[in-house]
Structure formats: C-alpha cells, structure tokens
Structure 1
Amino acid sequence: MDFYLVVSELVSATLRWLHVIAGIAWIGSSFYFIHLDLSLQKRVGLPDGVKGDAWQIHGGGFYQMIKFLVAPKHMPDELTWFKWEAYATWLSGFALLVVVYYLQADLFLIDKSVLNMSAPTAAAIAFVTLVVSWLIYEALCRSPLGKHAVALALVGYVYLVALTYGFTHVFSGRGAFTQIGALIGTIMVANVFAVIMPNQRKTVAALIAGEKPDPVWGELGKQRSVHNNYLTLPVVFLMLSNHYPLFFATKYNWIIVAIVLIIGPVIRHFFNARHEGKESPWWTWFVAAFAMMLVLWLTTTGPKDAGKTGALEQKPTFAQVNEIVSSRCSMCHAAEPVWAGIGEAPKDIRLDSPEAIRLHAKLIALQAGRSSAMPPGNVTEITPQERQVLAAWYAAGAPAE
C-alpha cells in the first residue's frame, strides 16, 4: 500500500509539472503570435504578398518579423511548426484528470449531497461531455453563425454558463470547476489539432505542388486562434481554482464562473487593442475590477446549503467543534488515518487532538465551515448545521472552551 501511494503521488506530481510547463509554452507562444499579428505595420519596400512587418528587440538582438497575406511564393527550406505545446498540455492535463478525478471520483468528482452516483458513471459523464461539447462548438463554428464573431461569442458564452450550472448540480464544486476548465481546454487544443494544423498542412502541400493556397484556410485558422486567445485566461483561473474553496465550494459557484468568463476576455481585449496600436480601452480594467469585487462578494455567501438552517440557539463551544471534527475529519487527518487509500494525513494536517484543531481553526472554517470543500465529496456526510457551527466558532474567535 505504501509503495502504491508513493507511486501515485509521483505520477500525479510529474503529470502536474509537465502540464504546467507545457501550458506555459503553449500560452506564451499563443500570446506572442497574437501580439505579433496585431502589431504588424504595412511599410514601403516590403515584398509583394506581405501583410506587414514588426521590428522587435530581445536579448540584445534586433528582429524583423514579417507575415504574408496567404503564404510565400515558394516553400522555405526550414519551417518551424507550433503544435506540440498544445498537444502536450492537453495530453498531460487529461492524464492528470484521469489519475486525480476519474480514478478518485468518490473523493474529488462526486458529492453525494449533490447527486449520488457511482464513480464509473461520474467519470463517463465527464468524458462524454468533453467530446459532445467540442462537437457542438465545431458545429456552431461551421454554421452560418460562425461568420458573425460577436453572435458566436454570445451563444458560446451562454452555452458554457448553462453547462457550468448543470455541472454544479451533477458533480462536486471542485469537480464542476475542473470539468468546465478541461472542457474549454479540450476545445482549444481541438482547434489546433482539427482546424489550424490541417489547414496549415494544406497550405504547405499547395506550395510544394506549385499551387496557390486558398486564403480561406488561413482565415479559419485565425478564427480559432482568436477563440483560444480569449479563452486562455478563464481556463487558467479554472485550473487553479481547486486550491481556493471559496470559489468552487460556495453557493453561487456557477455565477463565479460566469463572471470569470467575462473578466478573462475583457482583459485580453485591453492587451489586444494595445498591441494593435489602438487607443487603450482603460474601461476594461474598471469592468474587471467591478467583476472581481462581485466575485469577492459571492464568496461570502457560504456553502450551497447555506440558508437552509436556522440561527444557532447559542454560541458554539469547543466541545461541539471537537465532536464534529473528530467524527467528520479525523479519520483522514490523523497520525494514522483509517480511511481506505490514505496512508498519511493530507498535506500533513492533523486534526486528532484539541491542540491541533485550535491550531488549524482558520483552515477548518475555510474548508468545512464557509465552504463545502471538505470533507471531499462529503464522504463523511457532514450536515449543514455542523458546517454552521464550525463557521460560527471561528467567527467568534475560535474559543478554547
């Protein structure tokens, strides 16, 4: 068992490390080329068929970057393809999704207080929605709606928010946030794999054959690249959100996602406008700041079941808190956990003594009082009343009596 736990942790850590590194490479190159494309200038003396150029300096060297309207007349001897950053990000992310969420669905994907289902069922629903959502997105882009960027964006936004609302009524809050993030990430990498790369291959094949490439191929690739650009920041937030229970495990978590899906594109619009040389749309920061304040307020609403309990008749005592923690938390958070598959206290946080409970009062209130992040999947079936007691105890200063 100890060997299995060590291997499991090592695999999880390696996949997470690879996912972050690949994601940095993908996001970095994506943002760079969006910046380059928007900053191109049409100047006198450029070769025929060139859209524009941009002069840049980095690392002590000067660079002149040019972009052709469609493609150069002849195939260059060397050509760098940007694809493995995206593929590695998705492959490592999906592997991590399987290891953490699908194989441990009882803890991280399922919340029995939301919907009681088996681990295979939850994993199957999660995987199928990844595939189906990409097919729906692809159909929308290829429909007449795809020619109207703003209308397509609005329809896509409504679809993602509705899907998030549905996920929060099927999975745990942590699982719902991770699933919608994985879904958007899948759409983004599918844009690279199924549209951008094939069209680039067609362009290269035409050049090799001495034919003129179809401009539509480049236009379709540009469309999907822009989509990825505006979706990147929300995905990063969703992937990091599992560390912040007040986001994913509170009453209006789906609204928080809806707001983040606005904040990310608004921020990208600011930078895209600056890259293009337009007047800086400073209003975007006021929108983003207001939206973040709204998110902050939503995090104070408490767990999903907050409001279903009446006011406490008296101030919570430490004896009450000790009993709740001992019965709902200490089977895992102990020197010798008794929960199957857990060999040591998660994050080395032990709650098996009065001193340890008082030491970790803030974490207890955050994870199990003000949110429903713990116990994961509510596997120990903590009640709304017990969560209320934990939150009230910490709010009163975590008294020792």
Structure 2
Amino acid sequence: MTDFAIFWDWLSFGVRWAHVITGIAWIGSSFYFIALDLGLRQRPGLPKGAYGEEWQVHGGGFYNIQKYLVAPEQMPEHLTWFKWEAYTTWLTGFALLAIIYYAGADLFLIDRNVLDVSAPVAILISLASLGLGWLIYDLLCKSPLGKNDTTLMLVLYAVLVAIAWGYTQLFTGRAAFLHLGAFTATIMSANVFLVIIPNQKIVVADLIAGRTPDAKYGRIAKTRSLHNNYLTLPVLFLMLSNHYPLAFGTQFNWVIASLVFIIGVLIRHYFNTTHARKGNPTWTWLAALVLFIVVIWLSTVPKVLVGEEQAASAGSEMFVASAHFLAVRDTVLGRCSMCHAAEPAYEGIYHAPKGVMLENDAEIAAHAREIYLQAGRSHAMPPGNVTQITPQERALLVTWYEGVGK
C-alpha cells in the first residue's frame, strides 16, 4: 500500500510538471502570435496576397515576418503547425483532474453539505459540464450574436458567471474553481482542435488542389484565437487558486472568480492595445487593481484579516495561553489530526498533507495562521468537510486567532 501511495504521489507530480511545461509552451506561442498579428504593418512592395509584415530582433538576429490573410499563391515547402502545445496542455490537465479530483472524489470533489452525491455521479457531472460548456460556446459563436464581437463577449461573460455560480452549488470550493478553469481551458483547446486547425487544413488543401481558399476560414480562426488570448490569464489564476483558500473557500467565491475574468481581460487589453500601437491604456492597470482590492474585501467579509505581521508578532505561547485554546485544541484534534499526523488515520492518506502535524499544543500553535485561513476564514479544510466541522467551530477558530492578534 505504501509503495502504491508513493507511486501515485510521483505520478501526480510528473503529470503536473508536464502540464506546466506544455501550458507554458501554449501560452507563450499564443501571446507571441497575437502580439505579432497586432504589430503587422503594411508597406508598398509586399508580395502579392501579403497583408503586412513585422520586423523583430531577438537573440542577436533580425526577423522579417510577413502574414497572408488567406494564403500565399503557392504551398510552402515547410509549414510549422502550432497545435500540439494546446492538445498536450489539455490532455495533461485532464489527466491531473482525474488523478486528484476523480480518484480522490470523496476528499477533493464532493462536499456533502453542498450536494450529497456518490463519487461516480459527481464525476459524470464534471465530465458533462466540460462537454456542455463547449457546445454552448460554439453555438453562441455560430449564432447571429457571433457577428458582433462586443455583444458576443458580453453574453459569453454572463455564461461564465452563471457557470461559476453553478459549480459552487455542485462541488467543493476548490473543485469549483478548478472546474471553472477546466471548463474555460476545454473551450480554448476545442477552439484549436475543432475550429482553428481544421480551418487551416481546408486552406492548405485548397492550395494543394490549385483552388483559391475562402477568406472566411482565416477570419473565423482569428476570432477564436483572440478569444483564447483573452481567456488565458483567468485560466492561469483558476488553475493556481487551490493554493489560496481565501479565493475558493469563502462565501463569495463565485463572485471572486467572475471578477478575475474581468481583471484578466483588462490586462490583456493593455498589452494588445500597446502591441497594436494604438495607445497606452494605463487605466486598465488601475481598474484591475481596484477590482483586486474588491476581491480581497469579498474574501474577508464581514471582517478584515488581522495583518500578517501583527499575527506573526504573537508568539506560539500566546496562542496556547488564549482562553479559547482548549476548545480549539479539541476541534483540531477531532476534525484535523486524523490526516495531519505522523501516522494518518484517514483512509487513503499516508503522509500528513504538506508535512503539517497537528497532534499537540505546540504544533497547533505553530500552525495557528494556517488553521485560521484554511478552516476558519475559508472552508478549504477539511476537504469537502469530510469531518463535519460545524460553523460554530469555524467561528471559534476565527475568534481564537484574531483575539491573540489584537
């Protein structure tokens, strides 16, 4: 059993590493080509069919890049396709979803206080939501709404907000954020797999056959690529959010997720505008900062967190000496220590998560801040509330920590 646990842990690490590597490759190429496209300039003397060109310098050399909106007159001998970055990012991401959230559904996916379902049912809901997301998005893009980019983006944002709320009614907060990211990433990958690459293959086939390619295929592919560009930063936040319980484990987590999409769009708008040499909209950074402050406030409603430096100044002895400590210790030992122990008693847990032990007074006091954030201020711990910690016990943890910090 121990050997299997070690294997599973390393499998998770290996897949996560592959996911990060391929994600960097996909995001890098996506950002580069959008910036390149926006920076294209027209000049007299360009080859027939060329829309514009860009001069760039990198690595000690100069690059002269030209773009054809439809296609060149003849098929080039060598053509590089940018697709495997997207495919492998999605495949490794889905594998990670299965390894962590499907295999550990009772711990990480299901919160029986939110929706009391079996693991197979929760997994089916997860899979169906990812497929349904693509169908809704694709139908909206192909509908009359798709003819107006602004209207389409507003409708798509409304859909994302609804999905954000919906996921919080189905899964744990952590799983809800992860699924919203997977929902969006599935749309982005499907854009590449089902629209962008097939459209490019149609154009290539027409060139080989001596036919004049239809310009509509390039326009559609460009629109979907731009959508991917604006969705990238919110997806990055959602994929990293499991490290931040104040984002996913609080009352207004779905509102926070919705605001993160706007922040990501604002930042991309700044870079896309500057790359297109259409100005320097620094107001986007101020707007993003204001929204981020709102996110911080939403994560701590109704009270503001004790300053980290203030809490840090309170030594472990003060936490133990608190009048609330005996009740806090009973709560931690009863709700947390079955996993956070040298020899965890919870089935399927073979090592204390992140090496955090909560078996005696000194260990509980040393991890007071983590207990406060993970189980007091947010509902991140216990995962899926598997040990049935009560609202009163969570309130006790908050009162204990904030009382010492004051």
Q: TM-score, normalised by structure 1?
A: 0.95
Cα displacement (A) at 1:45: 1.7
Aligned to 2:317: none
1:335 paired to 2:333: no
| Aligned mate of 1:323, from 330, 339, 344 | 330
Deviations 1:265-322 (A, max 9, x none): 111011100000111112111110110010010111279xxxxxxxxxxx85211111
Residue 120 of structure 1 aligns with an amino acid whose one-letter code is: P
Kindly tell me: are residues 316 and 390 of structure 1, through their superposed partners in 2, closer, same or farther at Cα, counting changes over 3 Å?
Answer: farther
- 1:190 offset after TM fit, Å? 0.1
**Corresponding position: 1:357 with 2:384:** no
For the pair 1:395 / 2:399, whether they are aligned, the reply is: no
Q: Is the 8 A contact 1:365 1:391 kept in 2?
A: yes
In structure 2, the partner of 1:151 is: 151
Partner residue in 2 for 1:310: none
Aligned to 2:164: 164
Q: How does 1:100-119 map to 2 (within 5 A)?
A: 100-119=100-119
Aligned to 1:121: 121
In structure 2, what is the equivalent of residue 312 of structure 1?
none
Residues in 2 aligned to 1:8 and 1:316: alpha-carbon distance in whole angstroms? 42
- Cα gap change, 1:394/1:299 in structure 2, threshold over 3 Å: closer, same or farther? same
What amino acid does structure 1 have at the position aligned with 2:327?
Answer: Q
Residues matched between the structures, number: 388
Report Cα offsets for 1:321-371 as digits up to 9, x if no partner: 110000000001011111001111111100001110011111010100111
Q: Does residue 12 of structure 1 match 2:19?
A: no
Matches within 5 A, 1:260-279: 260-279=260-279
Secondary structure of residue in 1 paired with 2:404: coil
Equivalent residues of 1:241, 1:248 under 8 A apart: yes
Q: 2:287 & 2:376 partners in 1: Cα distance?
A: 31
- AA aligned to 2:7 is V
Q: Secondary structure at the match of 1:367?
A: helix
Whether the aligned pair in 2 keeps the contact of 1:316 and 1:389 (CA below 8 Å) is: no
User: Is the CA contact (8 Å cut-off) linking 1:251 and 1:302 kept in structure 2?
Assistant: no
Corresponding position of 1:376:
383
Residue 362 of structure 2 aligns with an amino acid whose one-letter code is E
The residue that corresponds to 1:348 in the other structure is: 355
Give the gaps of 5 or more residues in structure 1. Answer: 304-314
Which amino acid in 1 is paired with 2:103?
A: L
- Could you tell me how far apart the structure 2 residues matched to 1:57 and 1:171 are? 48
Corresponding residue for residue 22 of structure 1: 22
* Structure 1 residue aligned with 2:99: 99
Task: Name the % identity.
Answer: 56
- 1:187-210 CA deviation, whole Å, 9 max, x = no partner? 000000000000000111111111
- Tell me if 1:367 matches 2:362: no
SS of 2:57's partner is strand
Residue type at the aligned position of 1:393: W
Aligned match of 2:313: none
Q: Hey, what does 2:142 align to over in structure 1? A: 142
Contact 1:199/1:221, CA 8 A, preserved across alignment:
yes
CA contact (8 A) 1:74 1:207 kept: yes
1:114–1:169 Cα contact (<8 Å) kept: yes
Q: Distance in 2 between matches of 1:268 and 1:30?
A: 12
**Which residue of structure 1 aligns with residue 293 of structure 2?**
293
- Matched residue, 1:56: 56
Cα distance in 1 between the residues matched to 2:145 and 2:194:
19
Measure the CA separation in 1 of the matches of 2:302 and 2:399: 12
Structure 1 CA distance for aligned equivalents of residues 150 and 13 of structure 2: 40
For the residue of structure 2 that corresponds to 1:146, the secondary structure is: helix
- Structure 2 CA distance for aligned equivalents of residues 12 and 326 of structure 1: 29
CA gap of 1:24–1:302, structure 2 versus 1, over 3 A, is farther
The 8 Å contact of residues 316 and 392 in structure 1, kept in 2 or not, is answered as no
Q: CA deviation at 1:398?
A: 7.0
Q: Which amino acid aligns with 1:193?
A: F
RMSD between aligned residues? 1.2
